[in-house]
Chain A
């Protein structure tokens, strides 16, 4: 009997019931008795010495319970925030990771840096008092421009970091790449900026720190994508409390996109303050604060050189990137421009040699870290743009040039560390070209021209590496943690199932997809499966959700645990029917003894497991509860082709995306409807980056100029087309589900497709993101002027 709720089915999302009726439970919904409220005093300067903090007047204000400053952090010998991925420079020296204090003490290093925490009876009282805290600043010159941050004349942000450079890293064969470029028939050069983004999840960050003096233990309710990692850092590095005295709960979380992976100062300070104050302390980030202090994304400047032979085959790729780290190294900041980005420079192409250098540079801006795609969008944008420029300069059709260079045999070892296990890049491109009616584009362009519109088409053939793995390799590359995932599958006596996962769902739909995996293996309906996540006191352990790992790594762990359940259940059935476990067959929730009519449903087995009146206890333990840790053998490599077709109004510079085709190979799909949703959201974010979003700091003062939705443009429904989403399938070869990651692909594939289409429409070589109507209009005018002069 076919399972209609297992892998490949699209049942509605189980979690949506509570979200749709307003019964989600987010951190800000949680209130505890005697709760007080925290407000952070933030620096208005990008770079300044703190000469003194005067809290006297503020402390005397109504409702103020306590005001904590950097001096209190020092006095309590609290550890700072950490960066969990060690990168070594070319010369072998370790990256420079200067202290990142919970509250700034001697200096502030970006506008928004946290200087004091005011705890008061109400939010308004905390805020009023915060405004009365007098901080004596001596302003210092701000370092903002990435192009000059490393120069001798730039101010030094951290005394221990000369030239504001954390590390200078390289990967690949430098000599081989340079030799191949020298011999190439043609070398395409391209300088680009990957624009800085503000994550803006719908739910801002929030924290509620609770200290229980009776048990000397802490609980932190927080907006986290990875509560166990948060607990690990708070326990081992910040030193708040050992893990058995520290519970971290991440309940419903309204979007993360990477920005809630990191361990931030605010959440940490609330937890610490709860003991010092003797009251629970709650802080809910305001939108304006989120702009200032959530870790931002992207912000790379790169120079690229692509060598080609006379037949259009790529001979070599050389890249130099300067990556903005912001004022401090955030939790995974060092990995983003290095191991999460450079290995993707091979893309879908058999470029024989690649060499890349990355400088990580401090500036007086908010810390920069992983944001949907994390390094892979940056690499993909560079590659898919330079390939399109190469097509333009050689006169080879962009689709044809890509095909000529596609990798076609697998497994394929790239020159930049990765081994692709499977893929079929021609299949996804063929399907995308067909759906988009690529051949019919010239006619549509001509028709648009009659209406006075410039129509363009752009391709992006991307690859992604998801689910960082294996732990052994990650460790060799500098990761401070392993990147396995854990799961526990527990049958309760009456036949329902709880799945405990270390991944966290904040929009991904795990409560449905994990239930489908369990349903597939155990033959139980998904309504009988509860997925438990986000609480360190109920889930054994886990590394959390990021890098499109939850399906392939977390889902595989769940499957592995479910398979152990089947094995254990067979022993119980074998005991019951007095036969060998090897004679038991299991299909769709029913155990049968081969060659007999004896059978038992898995629910009956579960009941039997917990009512062991006559078990031979030395051979068979009661219970039906198994756990598993799954450590992947490799990354998964989703890939595909996205095609953007758009029209530009030459008079206004307004770009309208008219068609979008996405053909992705995510391996097997657990829930196609949810995968569609992931693709849609990712493309929306990528279009946002390409056309609308750009985080701007004032070059001189380091003030954040795009600090609200008045100045930072988020994509809205009317900015987006109706997508045509389809799939091809090469099942992942090394995980038991055959799945690849799908959460970030849309955001990775889409920006170059948009800009390639824009350049095609306008007939220009490049246009920087975000390609606002003003930039587009100027580019159109620049093309028109010489014509007008003729």
Chain B
């Protein structure tokens, strides 16, 4: 699964970069995030619990920051286990560009899922993951923008291309899988900034 997105944040690049380094900002931005722990300068662990309808799942993920080039870009490589539902791993390249008094955040993310997630939910996971990525960025941008939150623009929201895949009748596993993947991608993005 590949996804990408672009957001305009009304804050200087350094501020955005710093926010991405703040585990507390990350925790508040990740939907369902219970905990973000910096294990080292370039390694984070997070626990995210997510629920859709009646299904609730908790997953643990680890993200490593690579190719750090503050405050311009980095790459995040993450891996998470959803226990019986399988696993997910992902990679995201994040770039920050200054544009006047705005910062343009863009990302390209790639995720792979395995086990029951892949077997049952592969074609339905994209939409869920994009929706969660969007939710993360909306919250993050608001926090980073502070008083100017109203000026945040989603230039290319991650979810725009992914309206499909919803609807009733999806098995719980699909939802759980989607959440895990979404969580990982989001987590990866957060960590990258961290």
Contacts and interface: CB of A to CB of B under 8 A. Distances in A.
Interface of A: 44-46, 111, 130-131, 288, 291-292, 698, 700-701, 703-705, 707-708, 710-711
Contacts of B118: 111, 698, 701, 703-705, 707
Given A44-B86, A44-B87, A700-B112, 9 more contacts: A131-B83, A288-B120, A698-B112, A698-B118, A701-B114, A703-B122, A710-B120, A710-B123, A711-B122
A46 to B, nearest CB: 8
B141 interface: no
21 contacts: A45-B114, A111-B114, A111-B118, A131-B83, A288-B116, A288-B119, A291-B119, A698-B112, A703-B114, A703-B115, A703-B118, A703-B119, A704-B118, A704-B119, A705-B123, A707-B119, A707-B120, A708-B120, A710-B120, A710-B123, A711-B123
Contacts of A711: 122-123
B84 interface: yes
A interface secondary structure, majority? loop
Contacts of A703: 112-115, 118-119, 122
A704 B113 CA distance: 11
Most A CB within 10 A of own CB, among B112, B119, B120: B119
Q: On chain B, which size bracket covers the interface?
A: 10 to 19
Contacts of A705: 118-119, 122-123
Interface string B83-124: 110110000000000000000000000001111101110110
Contacts, number: 48
B interface secondary structure, majority? helix
Contacts of A708: 119-120
B114 A44 contact: yes
Most B CB within 10 A of own CB, among A44, A45, A708: A44
Interface of B: 83-84, 86-87, 112-116, 118-120, 122-123
Nearest to B124: A710
Contacts of A701: 112, 114, 118
Contacts of A707: 118-120
A398 B84 CA distance: 54
Contacts of B114: 44-46, 111, 701, 703
Contacts of A44: 86-87, 114-116
Most B CB within 10 A of own CB, among A46, A291, A701, A710: A710
Contacts of B122: 698, 703, 705, 711
B84 A131 contact: yes
B100 to A, nearest CB: 41
B117 to A, nearest CB: 8
A353 B104 CA distance: 69
A288 B119 CA distance: 8
B84 A111 contact: no
A464 to B, nearest CB: 34
Contacts of A700: 112
Contacts of B116: 44, 288
B127 to A, nearest CB: 15
A397 to B, nearest CB: 43
Contacts of B112: 698, 700-701, 703
Nearest to A292: B119
A600 to B, nearest CB: 65
B14 to A, nearest CB: 37
Contacts of A698: 112, 118, 122
B112 to A, nearest CB: 5
Nearest to B120: A708
Nearest to B112: A701
Contacts of A45: 114
Contact of A111 (B83, B115, B120, B123): B115
Contacts of B84: 130-131
